[in-house]
């Protein structure tokens, strides 16, 4: 087994990917989705900006990962309530409530997924 395939190295890589995405979400929440910059992200992670490129090839790739995360979280939340019993009006009401709950709990992901505030994304 080579070092690049080691489970420990993969765990460290996965942990750093999660830190990058979590920090990007904080920046987006504080400054707006379109304000995400590689320089600010690196500064908050206490690394040099070029080091981010070991994990993501571009800022757009970070947005892509967050977009996927947003829709995954949204689908999990919605699917939980759509599987409950009830008439269509109740299910529709639950759907709308959960849509709004998702927006309030994850404003940066909601904006990225549903409002598309990033030019060229």
Residue 3 DSSP label: G
Report how far apart, in Å, the C-alpha atoms of 16 and of each of 13, 36, 53, 65, 79 are: 5, 18, 12, 14, 29
User: pLDDT category, 4, cuts 50, 70, 90?
Assistant: low
SS3 content of the chain, % helix, strand, coil (to 5): 80, 0, 20
Instruction: State pLDDT tens for residues 64-106.
Output: 999 999 999 999 988 877 766 778 888 888 889 889 999 999 9
Report pLDDT digits (tens) over 77-87.
Answer: 888 777 667 78
- 34 contacts: CB under 8 Å, gap ≥ 6: 117, 118, 119
Contacts with 52 (C-beta within 8 Å, 6 or more apart), sequence order: 20, 38, 41, 42, 45
């Amino acid at each position: 087994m080579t070092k690049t395939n080691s489970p420990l190295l993969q765990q460290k890589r996965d942990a750093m990917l999660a830190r990058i995405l979590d920090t990007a979400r904080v920046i987006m929440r504080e400054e707006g989705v379109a304000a995400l910059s590689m320089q600010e992200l690196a500064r908050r992670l206490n690394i040099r900006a070029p080091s981010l490129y070991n994990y993501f090839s571009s800022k757009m790739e970070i947005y892509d990962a967050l977009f996927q995360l947003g829709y995954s979280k949204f689908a999990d939340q919605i699917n939980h309530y759509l599987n409950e019993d009830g008439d269509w009006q109740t299910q529709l009401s639950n759907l709308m409530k959960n849509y709004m709950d998702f927006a309030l709990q994850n404003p940066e992901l909601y904006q990225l997924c549903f409002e598309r505030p990033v030019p060229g994304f």
